[in-house]
Structure 1
């Protein structure tokens, strides 16, 4: 792994919290992600399933974690199953976990090879009433690809039809949205790497540069600082591209007078940063660009103050919408008549600010949690309002990552330049 080792105490603690949520006499089973094919014999880089990583720290394909906290023999209460390596695999694919390494990483003392899984499972299920199985229940999941976990659900239900089956997702989602301090530190590290990349960009950018060149500068700093990859497909959007919310082509030349919107984050140890910044290609915002920029920054700052314990996402988004409505009125982009005639389900401000302001952040960029769960200390959110005016080729979105505390919040991106004056000063240094 590119990232430095994580102490096993985090994963031991996470397993203990999860097992407390299980019914008596249960087993829970987690599978690693697949290595996804492209075409011919090509594959995509491996990306571990967030749930098995959260509970074990194991970052390798063809791995299974079995948890049976009430099993009579304590050796079978936590078991890791790994792909057994050999000299040929070592030559062609590289090093795989030894049993000792897997134990040191995860804190799981019983580690077996994968070919023992079915016989061990049969032994465990003979003494078990409830089987907890994993599935992707993220509210925005629209994938049609069958995962390793999906295949295992079918296999398990076919071979053990009379057990009572339970869902893992509601339990682990409720845990994962409240981060341990060590997890917040890992997200902070991803934010710090993202900062290094952004500061490099401020020195590099000038009229005539291509969007993909700017992406490459980020990639260089991310890799040399141990980031695994971009947390998501990076957005480098100049001029009118800044009004396309998920523009990822990054193929255009940045012209004098353009603004450039960067929506980019580093992934470190499977934890993610999610930053958006906007800069002027020539180092100076125009009067109009600055007017829109400052309005978005005010919305972001006020929205951040609402990220406190007890709030909920629906209430929060409604309040941020009222703040944005005020700013758009002041900019003359909407009128009081527009507000009076608006559809309550699609307010007037949505013409220029059509997406949500915040989402959970962690092992997934759009991290898991109930939409209606009250904010608690330990949750980490993005804050990312924007104003998009296609007819003016101006799209401004500003985004920080914020951890909620008992008494308020901590901005994990407080050191990344965001004020227009600082950005212009650094670009013209």
Structure 2
């Protein structure tokens, strides 16, 4: 890993929160992700399952965490299972965690090799009534590939049909959405790396540069600051590409008079940042581009003020829609008849602003969080309104990451990243 080792006390706290919510006499099992094949002997870079990382800090493949807080013996209450490292693996792949190193990373005292997992689990299941399985229930998930977790669940149900089944995900959705101070510091670090990348490309962008050249500048800056790279597939969308919400080809030349919509950000230690900015290719917004840019910025600033404890997700988006409607009227994109005749299920403003304003952020870019519950202090959200005008050939999105505070407005983790049009123009010129 490129990142500096995280204090294991974070993971100790996270496990305590999870086990406090478990039912009596129950076991929870968490699996690492697979290494996914491409073809021949090629594989994708390994990315750890965020749940086992959140609870242990272990960031390698073929790892399993077992939590059994009511186990009869103390050494059975937290157990890590890891691939056994040896000299051969150290030469060909690099050394894996030793049992001693695993304790230093996680704070878990009992560490076995993974080949002993089924034997030890059999003993534990004799004491337990219930197992917590870790299904993916994120509201945006659309997974077709069978995961290591899926295979484990299938095997477990066939092997232990007499035990009750519970779900880990509702607990994780709750506790992962409220960040510990250490987590906020890691997200801030990811945001700071993102700032370095954005400041790097502002003087670099000129008419004739290609979108992928800008992408290369960003990844250079991210990696040289200990990031693995982009927190998500980068969007560098010039001209009319900026009206495509998830444009990722990044293969067009940037032309004078156009703007570039960036949705690009760094990760750090598996924690995400999530930035959007929209800049002029030639270093100067046209009057219309500036008009739309400032409207989006006003919506973002007003929306941010509403991210306070007690706010309900649905009500928040309704209020943001009212603010956006007012701006679209002023821009001449909507008229009063559009508002009067709108479909309440798809308000008129959705023609130009069709996505949500905010989502939870953390270990996942679209992080865990139960949307029917009121917002709470130390939740981290994006704020990302946009206006997309295909008929005018450009779209604008502006996005920051904020932490809800116990009282008052949230703290903006991206407050140092240029956002005012004048500042962006000055830095580009």
Query: TM (normalized to structure 1)?
Result: 0.99
Matched positions, count:
428
Could you tell me how far apart the structure 2 residues matched to 1:202 and 1:36 are? 36
Q: Deviations over 1:69-123 (max 9, x none)?
A: 0101000000000001222211211111011100000000000000111111011
- Structure 1 window deviating more from structure 2 (83-92 vs 99-108): it is 83-92
- Residue 13 of structure 1 pairs with residue 13 of structure 2: yes
- How does 1:1-400 map onto structure 2 within 5 Å? 1-400=1-400
> What does residue 414 of structure 1 align with?
415
Moved over 6 A (4+): none
Structure 1 residue matching 2:37: 3-state secondary structure = coil
Q: Deviations over 1:278-311 (max 9, x none)?
A: 1100100000000000000000000000000000
Q: Give the deviation of 1:406 after TM superposition.
A: 0.2
* Unpaired stretches in structure 2, ≥5 consecutive residues: none
Structure 2 residue matching 1:135: 3-state secondary structure = coil
Q: Deviations over 1:52-80 (max 9, x none)?
A: 00000000000000000010100000000
Structure 2 residue matching 1:230: 3-state secondary structure = coil
Structure 2 residue matching 1:334: 3-state secondary structure = coil
Q: Deviations over 1:210-238 (max 9, x none)?
A: 00000000000000000112100000000
Q: Give the deviation of 1:313 after TM superposition.
A: 1.2
Q: Give the deviation of 1:366 after TM superposition.
A: 0.4
Q: Give the deviation of 1:146 after TM superposition.
A: 0.6
Structure 1 residue matching 2:196: 3-state secondary structure = helix
Could you tell me how far apart the structure 2 residues matched to 1:323 and 1:92 are? 57
> What does residue 427 of structure 2 align with?
426
Q: Give the deviation of 1:391 after TM superposition.
A: 1.1
Could you tell me how far apart the structure 1 residues matched to 2:214 and 2:104 are? 39
Contact 2:86 2:95 in 1 (8 A): no
Structure 2 residue matching 1:166: 3-state secondary structure = strand
Could you tell me how far apart the structure 2 residues matched to 1:334 and 1:274 are? 30
* Unpaired stretches in structure 1, ≥5 consecutive residues: none
Query: TM (normalized to structure 2)?
Result: 0.99
Structure 2 residue matching 1:315: 3-state secondary structure = helix
Contact 2:26 2:70 in 1 (8 A): yes
- Structure 1 window deviating more from structure 2 (366-375 vs 212-221): it is 366-375
Could you tell me how far apart the structure 2 residues matched to 1:152 and 1:288 are? 56
Could you tell me how far apart the structure 1 residues matched to 2:25 and 2:249 are? 51
Contact 2:222 2:266 in 1 (8 A): yes
Structure 2 residue matching 1:359: 3-state secondary structure = coil
Structure 1 residue matching 2:152: 3-state secondary structure = helix
Q: Give the deviation of 1:6 after TM superposition.
A: 0.2
Could you tell me how far apart the structure 1 residues matched to 2:312 and 2:358 are? 11
Could you tell me how far apart the structure 2 residues matched to 1:209 and 1:398 are? 22
Structure 2 residue matching 1:368: 3-state secondary structure = coil
Could you tell me how far apart the structure 1 residues matched to 2:276 and 2:335 are? 28
Q: Deviations over 1:398-424 (max 9, x none)?
A: 000000010131000000000000000
- Structure 1 window deviating more from structure 2 (80-89 vs 276-285): it is 80-89
Q: Give the deviation of 1:172 after TM superposition.
A: 1.0
Could you tell me how far apart the structure 1 residues matched to 2:300 and 2:228 are? 29
Contact 2:207 2:256 in 1 (8 A): yes
Could you tell me how far apart the structure 2 residues matched to 1:383 and 1:220 are? 26
Could you tell me how far apart the structure 2 residues matched to 1:163 and 1:125 are? 8
Q: Give the deviation of 1:393 after TM superposition.
A: 1.1
Structure 2 residue matching 1:204: 3-state secondary structure = coil
Q: Deviations over 1:122-141 (max 9, x none)?
A: 11110001100101111111
Could you tell me how far apart the structure 2 residues matched to 1:56 and 1:424 are? 45
